[in-house]
Structure 1
């Protein structure tokens, strides 16, 4: 069975194929799909407000020397920072559960579970996974 060019998926426009060929890359239908999904994300960023306020994102972008007037890009960066903080918090929670699990073996089985508390040791272990070293000052130990 011969595959016709129509079955191969969407073909690049002449401009896209020309620009990709000039860069030494071949344009693929996957690139077009990625462009569409990025455009959809940027449109969704108009209505989305990340937990990190825009003013905080603006401050740190300005402090880093980045000038960006597109609010959607700023919110996308805020969303990335929010995910980073959430990942660290999730990892710290896992370290806390592991620590409490090892201590729980020594306790009696009939006691109610205690509340989970985030300690500096749990946070330090989670941040260490991301290459960030956090250490308590010596005078607190």
Structure 2
């Protein structure tokens, strides 16, 4: 009662009933709870960075699908200079996932189009699909990318 929902309750010190226990100064900073021992400004991150460090170390041995030279070229062209090759590989990995997600979404559109048209005669597991603009356009639209054929192809 009487507390904001983002505040954690502070254990009440033995005080008289007339005076309510107030949270210590600095116990709440931008909606983030700061322990009283760290209220003097010596705040250290509570989250361990070892998973991130381990992941970055694994990137040293990883060969991405998009070569480092290609990623580095486009990063330099965009004005980004990375001296650490792990950062370039991390961006290559993110770009690879982005392209993979778009291709997978386009494949799902193609499969849905195939089942909607009633082509149940060909129930082969090894059916080959062709990436077309009709399937790629709605997949890209989900990511906010609008693609249209040039007027001379319509």
TM-score (norm 1): 0.74
Say yes or no: does 1:128 pair with 2:141: yes
Query: Of the candidates 131, 136, 140, which is equivalent to residue 118 of structure 1?
Result: 131
Distance 1:101 1:110, change over 3 A: closer
Q: RMSD across aligned C-alpha pairs, in angstroms?
A: 1.8
Deviations 1:78-105 (A, max 9, x none): 00000000000000000000111111x1
* Larger Rg belongs to: 2
Q: Which residue of 2 aligns with 1:89?
A: 103
Query: Of the candidates 73, 76, 80, which is equivalent to residue 94 of structure 2?
Result: 80
List alignment gaps of at least 5 residues for structure 2: 1-37
Alignment partners' CA distance in 1, 2:59 and 2:144:
30
Q: Which residue of 2 aligns with 1:67?
A: 81
User: Cα distance, 1:111 vs. partner?
Assistant: 3.9
Alignment partners' CA distance in 1, 2:99 and 2:62:
18
Alignment partners' CA distance in 1, 2:149 and 2:70:
27
Alignment partners' CA distance in 1, 2:129 and 2:82:
40
Aligned residues: 113
Q: Which residue of 2 aligns with 1:46?
A: 60
